[in-house]
Amino acid sequence: MEMANDSICIHDSHGVHCKFDRLPVDAIMSSVIISNSKSVLEEYMPPEAAQLIAQWIVETSCQFKITGSRKSKFGDYRPPFKGKAHRISVNHDLNPYAFLITTVHEFAHLYTWEEHKNKVQPHGAIWKRNFHKLMQPFFVMDFFPDDIRNAVSVYLSNPGASSCSDLNLFRTLQKYNPIKEDHTVLENLPKNSSFLISSGRVFEKGEKLRKRYRCIERPSGKVYLFNPLAEVKVVTN
């Protein structure tokens, strides 16, 4: 959601989802803005959670954008800068539970910045405290499947930079992604199997080095390290 001088826009992956005239502050009802935001958010996250997230967007005057897919991150937070408000973006293609957890993750950054600006670590103790606190209402709502609830509880005991950095949580969230024909995660492939990534490049799976797999690009022979839970397409001979 973005507030301009004379209008309010709610963005999703297709651009501006809806736009309506902005009335004077003493005439506009925040509940109207929340209702419009909620209707958009319900398409991307568990509907039970949309109302509270919409309230956070309005209360913080946050520019909330639902973006296209980004391989390097699920979401992003940018603090106020040169007159711009708080900005949060979340990938549109996450499953509803991943979308919500990523959104809460980014709001934890927002509230941490509000409290301490840039004087604390991005994923330090203050951020962890805020993330833990912000997740609690969604546990009370009781819409998480048991496996996600358990994985999130473990993750909250010491949350990292992102949900995809915690293999247990990422693996659990992936179970709720739409199933793609001939696709799997890299760790499920036998060693020396060939696989295709979204760019069309072909690799051969090698041995595991600590947390990642050593894979060789074909035909260049270049070596790359892959996350075990990277989604790949199986190449059959």
Residue 223: domain span? 183-234
Write down the pTM of the prediction: 0.77
Q: Do 97 and 187 reside in the same domain of the chain? A: no
Q: Do 228 and 130 reside in the same domain of the chain? A: no
Q: Do 161 and 190 reside in the same domain of the chain? A: no
Tokens of 43: 């398409």
Q: Do 65 and 101 reside in the same domain of the chain? A: yes
pLDDT band with cut points at 50, 70 and 90 for residue 105 = very high
Q: How far is CA 28 from CA 22, 33, 35, 55, 56, in A?
A: 8, 9, 13, 15, 17
pLDDT band with cut points at 50, 70 and 90 for residue 39 = confident
Beta bridge partners of 81: 84
Stronger pLDDT, 156 or 47, i.e. the higher one: 47
Q: Do 93 and 201 reside in the same domain of the chain? A: no
Query: Is pLDDT above 80 for 237?
Result: no
Q: Which of 130, 153, 174 is the last residue of a domain?
A: 174
Q: Do 58 and 150 reside in the same domain of the chain? A: yes
- Looking at residue 25, its pLDDT comes to 44
pLDDT band with cut points at 50, 70 and 90 for residue 30 = low
Q: Do 188 and 167 reside in the same domain of the chain? A: no
pLDDT in tens, 183-192: 888 989 999 9
Number of structural domains the chain divides into:
2
Q: Which of 129, 147, 174 is the last residue of a domain?
A: 174
pLDDT band with cut points at 50, 70 and 90 for residue 138 = very high
Handedness of CA 69, 103, 143, 173 (dihedral sign): positive
Q: Which of 146, 174, 202 is the last residue of a domain?
A: 174
Q: Do 33 and 124 reside in the same domain of the chain? A: yes
Q: Could you tell me which residues come within 8 angstroms of residue 83 by beta carbon, excluding any fewer than 6 positions away?
A: none
CA angle, corner 161, sides to 207 and 232, nearest 5?
40
